[in-house]
Homo-oligomer: A and B are copies of this chain.
Amino acid sequence: MDRALDEARAAAARGEVPVGAVLVGPDGAVIAADGNRTRAGHDPTAHAEMLVIRAGCAVLGVERLTGCDLYVTLEPCAMCAAAISAARVARVYYGAGDPKSGGVAHGARVFSHPQCHHVPEIYDGIGGAESEALLRAFFAARRGATGAEGI
């Protein structure tokens, strides 16, 4: 998760929402690591989770990341949760919960329906305070420090 937090900080430095993700293989080796890139890439799908899933599949030449784990600093949204399921990621470790836009423990709760064909193990709250602090600082700065109701 430390590496994912580094990626979140790097995203903030690029002016992107500070969320970072790391994909780890069954042997514990890092396969892919990245942060949000929606603005730079003009790509609303370029969330950190999507980028590491796509990069991981490309590196391994597979469509399914069986046995791989994903670390992400913020609760995945519905898009990323469904992509995690489609990619058959084994375990998801996430930092801060996201009551505003989350799709795992909030809102669409993507893993809680029979239309979800693979449910990963979920571990939440790991590095959550640091992740939330990054997000709050980012949104506070963007809003001229008038409000920090960012995430």
Residues of A near any B CB (own CB < 8 A) = 38-39, 42-45, 50, 53-54, 57-58, 60-64, 77-83, 86-88, 99-103, 106-110, 113-117
Could you say which residues of chain B place their CB within 8 Å of the CB of A106? 113, 115
Across the interface, do B58 and A44 meet the contact criterion of CB distance under 8 Å? no
A-B pairs with beta carbons under 8 Å apart, 17 shown: A38-B63, A39-B63, A42-B60, A43-B54, A43-B57, A44-B63, A44-B87, A45-B53, A45-B54, A77-B115, A79-B79, A79-B86, A100-B115, A103-B108, A107-B115, A108-B109, A108-B110
Count identical subunits in the complex: 2
Could you say which residues of chain B place their CB within 8 Å of the CB of A108? 78, 82, 103, 108-110, 113, 115-116
A106–B86 alpha-carbon span in the complex (Å): 17
Interface class of chain A by DSSP: loop
Across the interface, do A86 and B44 meet the contact criterion of CB distance under 8 Å? yes
12 additional contacts (CB under 8 A) given A42-B63, A107-B113, A108-B116: A42-B58, A42-B61, A43-B57, A45-B45, A45-B87, A78-B79, A78-B81, A78-B103, A78-B110, A78-B115, A78-B116, A101-B117
